[in-house]
Structure 1
Amino acid sequence: MFKKLFRRISENIAASEFSGPDGQRVYAIGDIHGRLDLLDDLLARIEDDIVERPLPTIGLCFLGDLIDRGPDSAGVVERLCSLGNFPAKTLGLMGNHEEMLLRVLNAEPNIAYDWLDYGGDACVESYGVAPSALQAMSEERIAEMLRAAIPPAHIRFLEDLGDTFSFGDYLFVHAGIRPGVKIEEQQPQDLRWIRQPFLSDGHDHGCMVIHGHTISDGVERRANRIGIDTGAYRTGILTAAVIEGANLTFVATGE
């Protein structure tokens, strides 16, 4: 049944040095970027799989960049705000795009116009605001307009997003980590934004880092990290990693 639910990118692979806690499973979903259609598809398949293969503890982790670029950021956030009855414990991590929106909402100088050019235009359109109108406004006025358009529950949801999630030998983050820095000493700037030197570093981090942020053509597997941002907003492929014990599987929608 499980094979029928997903387009499988990789068969079950024993992660010889890395494992999740016994009796638990986690689904980690990569960068959604406003693709509510793909999110709904993947969540439906995951829910069917949970019903078919129940475990005492099942988690669902979103790796950030929920918004921007794709057509329905508002719908994605609303969907995630309403997952209370989903048969898994859910949590979300903050991506750089969520950080940018929150900074815009706080009228931080020199942020709003860059954000609109960086995919924020699609986000504001999904909330019924014309991005061209914002370009002529002050940053303070932009913040006022967006706070009036975005439901307070959505803003609270974004403000409550975390930065890391540990699952056995795995660490979930949005962008990556600063090599050589202890996990507990990592800075939000790196966890949400880093590319280099993280992407090219080959050292053992003491865990397997699963991240999004940097688009790759399919799952990018390295000895110390796994990238699962497959560019959903432009490719139509939204990818998840599934960890259960020593088994690591990658699944995706969009084909």
Structure 2
Amino acid sequence: MPDHMRIYAIGDVHGRLDLLSALQAAIDEDMAAHPGPDCVEVYLGDYVDRGPQSSGVLDALMARRESRKAVCLSGNHEAVMLESLMSQESFSRWLRMGGLETVFSYIRPTAGGDEARMWNEWRSAVPAEHISFLRQLSSHFVCGDYLFVHAGLRPGIPLEEQSRDDMMWIRREFLDCADWFGHCVVHGHTPMKDPEVLGNRINIDTGAYATGCLTCLVLEGADRFLIAT
């Protein structure tokens, strides 16, 4: 990392506001215990779906940006949520990939299963601030020898030619590649029991919504260590 700079990179939250709050408190404690560097928090995407408090997670991230330097990247679940605001067909697909929990973080569950009515009620309940936040999410962030992205990069493609879709969705082609990508890539998207630290990439998605373990990678100088719930 550049001199006098520290990064806190946070993995996939997936609606677990309780874990996000606990991890942010741990970050605050670490910053207080080790003052000095310019600190930046980098959130790797997938804030919504599967867990119970997606709406609250978005509120918390927006509030965090008011008091901390924070970079929020887009995950594939944020992209699908945005698509679902515009298309009932996308909404139907989204419900099957964890979106139902997000819907119920905005509106109360209703009996009868009328999907069209649910879609319209949910769209009316999503604050304009949430939509603006989702639309402004970055695809990636570079600092020092590290590149931060939700899913990964397509091998053999220069960074400036990488597609936003690949950065949010790619899996096997990236995970199976041992090549150097020009930076050490810090990513989430593919849940693992433990953080995966390899020569060319570091995966910090530890399946928080199911495991209760939300992971943060701390980078300063040539040092790196982990904080986790």
TM-score, shorter chain, exceeding 0.5 = yes
Structure-2 residue corresponding to 1:83: 64
Q: Conserved in 2, the CA contact under 8 Å of 1:25 and 1:55?
A: no
Secondary structure in 2 matching 1:251: strand
Letter matched to residue 219 of structure 2: I
Question: Is 1:241 matched with 2:221?
Answer: no
Give the TM-score normalised by structure 1: 0.86
Structure-2 residue corresponding to 1:49: 30
Question: Relative to total residues, which structure has the larger helix share, 1 or 2?
Answer: 2
Report percent identity of matched pairs: 45
Give the TM-score normalised by structure 2: 0.95
Work out the CA distance in 2 between the residues paired with 1:245 and 1:218. 23
Q: Conserved in 1, the CA contact under 8 Å of 2:44 and 2:150?
A: yes
Aligned to 1:150, which of 120, 126, 131? Answer: 126
Aligned to 1:63, which of 44, 62, 68? Answer: 44
Name structure 2 gaps, 5 residues minimum. Answer: none
Structure-1 residue corresponding to 2:176: 200
Aligned to 1:188, which of 159, 164, 171? Answer: 164
Work out the CA distance in 2 between the residues paired with 1:134 and 1:183. 44
Work out the CA distance in 1 between the residues paired with 2:103 and 2:176. 35
Structure-2 residue corresponding to 1:130: 109
Paired residues in the alignment total 229
Aligned to 2:95, which of 101, 116, 132? Answer: 116
Structure-2 residue corresponding to 1:9: none
For the structure 1 residues 132 and 121, does the alpha-carbon distance in structure 2 shift closer, same or farther, using more than 3 Å as the test? farther
Using the TM superposition, give the Cα deviation of residue 106 of structure 1 relative to its aligned residue in structure 2, in angstroms. Answer: 1.7
Secondary structure in 2 matching 1:162: coil
Q: Conserved in 2, the CA contact under 8 Å of 1:165 and 1:173?
A: yes
Question: Is 1:24 matched with 2:10?
Answer: no
Using the TM superposition, give the Cα deviation of residue 135 of structure 1 relative to its aligned residue in structure 2, in angstroms. Answer: 5.1
Using the TM superposition, give the Cα deviation of residue 82 of structure 1 relative to its aligned residue in structure 2, in angstroms. Answer: 1.0
Q: Conserved in 1, the CA contact under 8 Å of 2:152 and 2:171?
A: yes
Work out the CA distance in 1 between the residues paired with 2:111 and 2:146. 43
